[in-house]
Amino acid sequence: MVSVLLVIGALVAAFVGFNIGGSTTGPAFGPAVGANAISKPAAAALMTVFFFIGAWTIGRRVVTTLGSDLVSDPGVFTLSTSIGVLFFIGVALFVGNVFGVPASTSMTAVGSIAGLGFANDALDWAVMGGIVTWWIVAPVIGFWVSLVIGRYFYPRLNRLIAIERSDGPLVELDRSGVLPIPRANATTNRREMAGVATVILIGCLMAFSSGTSNIANAIAPLVGSGALEMNPAIVLGGVAVGVGTFTIARRTLETMGSDITELPLTAAIVVATVSASLVVFLSAIGIPASFVVIATVSIIGLGWGRATRPIAVTDVVRGEETPDVDVSVGALAADDVDEEPPAIGESEPEQIPSAADLFDPATTARVVLMQNVVPLIATIGAYLTFRFLPIF
C-alpha cells in the first residue's frame, strides 16, 4: 500500500518539475521565440521532448550522484527530509516564475541540499566550493564573450549570416493533396531557413542539457531515499516539466526573448551558441550547470555590447570625405543602421532606437536580483528548517 507520505513526496516532486519547466524553457528557447523563429507552444513541445531524452539517458547518472557528492552522509536523505528539500526548491522556483524571472534550478536545488547538509554537519565544503567557483566564473565568461561579440563582431556576423525574418510563417501547409505537406513560404529564403533551424537546434541542445542535470533537482532526494525507483521517478519529473513548459513558462519566454533586449535572429544564434557551449562544458566536468544564469548574462552582455559598439563615422562635407572617426553610439546597436551616409540632398535616415530601447536596465536589475534571491531563499529556509524543527 502506498503511504500518504510518499504521495505527498511525489506531489512535491511534481511541483518542482512544474517549476523547472517554467524556469528553464525561457533560457533555452527565449532567443528563438524573441526572434519570431518559433511559437511558444512549439517551444514548449520541443523543450518537453528533449528534456525527457536528456533525463532518461545521461540524467539518471546525475540523479544517482547528486545526493552523495554534496552531502558526505547520504543517510540524511530520509523520505521526510527529501520532501522538505523538494518543498524549498519548488517554493523558491515558484517565486521566480511568479515574477517572470527564470531562476537557476541547479543553484536552488544545490542550495536546498547544502542547507540540509550544513544543518546536519554533513556538507562537503570542497565539493561545494568547486561548484560555487564555476557558478561565478562561467557567467562572467558568457558575459564577456557575448559583449565582445556584440561590440566588435556583431555587424560583421550579421552581414555574413544576413538572416532577416520575412513576413508571415516560415512554412505553410499544402492542402492540395490527400495529406497536408509542410512547404517553405514563398517569401522565405534558404539563409533564413538555415538560421532558424540553427537557433532551434541549439535550443533543443540546451533543453537536452537541462534534462541531464535538472531532472535530478526534482527527483534525486526521493530516489536517494529509496522512496521511488529511477524510471518511474524520471517519468514523473518529465511529465511535470512538460506541464510547466506549456503553462507558466510563457512569462519567462517573454522575459528572456523580448523584455531584456531585442533579439534579431542573428543575436539569438549568438546567445544560444555561447550559452549552450558553456553548459556542455560544465556538464562535461561534472558541475551542475546553471544555464539559466549563463543565458541571462549572455543576453545582457550581447545587448550591452551592441548598444555601445564602436563604428566608423564618415562626414560628408561639400562632397568630400573626411577621415573616419571612431565613436561609440548606443543607438547604433540596431541591425538596420545604414552603413553609408546619405547623399547631399537626400533625406536623413529614420530615427534609430536608443540604447535604452535595446537594453532595459530595470528588467535586467530585476532578473539579476531575483536570480540571486531565489537560491538564497531555498538555502536559508532549508537550513533553518532542518536545524531547528524537531520533526526532521
* 10-residue mean pLDDT series, the chain (392 residues): 80 89 81 75 93 90 76 81 84 72 75 88 87 89 93 82 58 66 62 74 86 86 84 94 89 61 66 80 76 78 80 44 36 40 38 47 67 80 83 57
Distance from C-alpha of 104 to C-alpha of 290, rounded to nearest angstrom: 6
- pLDDT the model gives residue 323: 39
Distance from C-alpha of 89 to C-alpha of 75, rounded to nearest angstrom: 20
Task: Indicate the number of domains in the chain.
Answer: 1
238 contacts 17 by C-beta, under 8 angstroms: yes
Alpha helices in the chain (DSSP H): 4-34, 40-54, 60-69, 79-98, 105-119, 125-148, 154-161, 190-224, 230-246, 249-254, 265-284, 291-307, 355-358, 361-388
Q: Would residue 185 count as lying in a domain? A: yes
Q: Would residue 51 count as lying in a domain? A: yes
φ/ψ (deg, to 5) at 231: -65, -50
Distance from C-alpha of 350 to C-alpha of 338, rounded to nearest angstrom: 10
CA atoms within 13 A on the CB side of 33: 26
Residues 6+ apart with CB under 8 A from 299: 30, 31, 146, 256, 260, 261, 263, 271
Exposure letters 40-67 (e unless 16+ CB within 10 A, then b):
beebbebbbbbbbbbbbebbbebbeebb
Rg (CA), the chain: 23
Q: Would residue 330 count as lying in a domain? A: no
Residues linked to residue 90 through DSSP beta bridges, in sequence order: none
Distance from C-alpha of 71 to C-alpha of 308, rounded to nearest angstrom: 45
Distance from C-alpha of 3 to C-alpha of 7, rounded to nearest angstrom: 7
Q: Would residue 302 count as lying in a domain? A: yes
- The residue with cell 563582431 is 153
- pLDDT the model gives residue 166: 59
Distance from C-alpha of 137 to C-alpha of 140, rounded to nearest angstrom: 5
Distance from C-alpha of 380 to C-alpha of 370, rounded to nearest angstrom: 15
- pLDDT the model gives residue 209: 84
Q: Would residue 318 count as lying in a domain? A: no
- pLDDT the model gives residue 327: 34
Q: Would residue 350 count as lying in a domain? A: no
Its pTM surpasses 0.75 = no
Q: Would residue 346 count as lying in a domain? A: no
**Which DSSP state fits 123?**
B
- CA nearest neighbour of 318 among 294, 292, 283, 343: 343
Residue 212, amino acid: T
Alpha helices in 149-264 (DSSP H): 154-161, 190-224, 230-246, 249-254
Residue 60 region by backbone torsions, left for phi larger than 0, else alpha for psi between -120 and 50, else beta: alpha
**Which DSSP state fits 111?**
H
267 contacts 307 by C-beta, under 8 angstroms: no
Distance from C-alpha of 38 to C-alpha of 40, rounded to nearest angstrom: 7
- pLDDT the model gives residue 140: 93
- pLDDT the model gives residue 333: 37
Domain that holds residue 18: 4-307+360-388
- pLDDT the model gives residue 338: 41
Q: Would residue 314 count as lying in a domain? A: no
